[in-house]
């Protein structure tokens, strides 16, 4: 019997990159460009360095992060990622400068937050009346405490009884530790949970292997629609409560 619902965050509750138009309108660099500029500025202030060197090292660091994320189910923190980049450059920063760059990375999406997907708030409020809810999300740049702040700012955090973020759990989806953390926080068994997310590999096949049900959510990202093994496919939040109820009563 389904008693709990776990949610991916990016492109399931929050629309990824929806903050970029506001950044552009305010005359700010894109997040990708700003992250590289932050590191370059800190390094250049201590010892001159060409921006192209920083951009190349950052790209290599991103590639290394993606490999570890995909193959080992671990998401390095921003501090860990920046140390890899600095090692590649053969450079170091003072403790104060390094901490400043880390904070600026971590706070970027908190200061100008991306938007919820249309209907998310109403769907969460409806589901929270009948099920315990938990976020199960990888932390690609913004850490768990920042993602909580984003959810709080949009008035969505109150619907959740738990949060399993990869930087806090120590693994990323589809590692079982992420879903076990959610189950433990909700006081439920894995078989009592259904997970909702936009990626078939991480959000559908991962939880299904653990005996959970899974819903592929396609409002923001529908790339996996034709390959999914999901127990249900949902195109918008307005239809999500009924889809969960159908799975719960099956």
pLDDT given for residue 243 in this prediction: 97
Structural domain that includes position 173: 4-18+115-249
**Are 91 and 213 contained in the same domain?**
no
Q: How many domains does the chain have?
A: 2
Among 73, 96, 111, where does a domain finish? 111
Q: In terms of domains, do 32 and 89 share one? A: yes
Q: What is the pLDDT of residue 197?
A: 98
Residues 67 and 143 in one domain: no
Domain closes at, from 111, 138, 170: 111
Q: CB-based contacts of 44: which residues, under 8 Å, 6+ apart?
A: none
Say which CATH number the domain at 146 has: 3.40.50.1000
Shared domain check, 36 and 14 = no
Query: What pLDDT is recorded for position 36?
Result: 98
Same domain for 134 and 218?
A: yes
Q: Quote the pTM value.
A: 0.94
| Domain stops at, among 111, 140, 166 | 111
pLDDT, residue 87, reads: 97
Instruction: For residues 135 and 208, state if they share a domain.
Output: yes
Give pLDDT < 70 ranges for the chain: none
Give residue-wise pLDDT tens across range 60-72.
999 999 999 999 9
Contacts 24+ apart (CB under 8 A), 145-153: 146/106, 146/107, 146/109, 146/110, 147/9, 149/110, 150/14, 150/109, 150/110, 150/113, 150/114, 151/13, 151/14, 153/110, 153/113
Give the per-residue pLDDT at 250.
86
């Amino acid at each position: 019997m389904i008693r709990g619902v776990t949610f991916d965050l990016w492109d399931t509750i929050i629309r990824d990159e929806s903050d970029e138009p506001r950044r552009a309108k305010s005359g700010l660099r894109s997040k990708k460009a700003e992250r590289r500029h932050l590191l370059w500025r800190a390094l250049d202030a201590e010892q001159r360095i060409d921006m192209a060197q920083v951009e190349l090292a950052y790209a290599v660091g991103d590639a290394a992060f993606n490999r570890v994320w995909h193959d080992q189910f671990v998401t390095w923190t921003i501090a860990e990622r920046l140390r890899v980049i600095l090692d590649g450059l053969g450079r170091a920063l003072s403790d104060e400068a390094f901490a400043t760059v880390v904070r600026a990375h971590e706070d970027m999406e908190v200061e100008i937050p991306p938007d919820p997907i249309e209907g998310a708030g109403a769907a969460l409020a409806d589901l929270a009346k009948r099920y315990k809810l938990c976020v199960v999300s990888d932390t690609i740049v913004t850490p768990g405490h920042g993602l909580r702040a984003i959810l709080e700012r949009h008035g969505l955090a109150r619907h959740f009884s738990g949060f399993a973020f990869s930087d806090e759990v120590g693994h990323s989806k589809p590692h079982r530790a992420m879903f076990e953390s959610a189950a433990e926080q909700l006081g439920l068994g894995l078989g009592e949970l259904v997970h909702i997310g936009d990626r078939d590999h991480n959000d559908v096949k991962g939880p299904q292997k653990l005996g959970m049900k899974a819903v592929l959510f396609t409002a923001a990202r529908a790339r996996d629609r034709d390959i999914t093994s999901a127990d249900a496919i949902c195109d918008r939040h307005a239809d999500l409560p009924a889809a969960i109820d159908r799975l719960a009563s099956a």
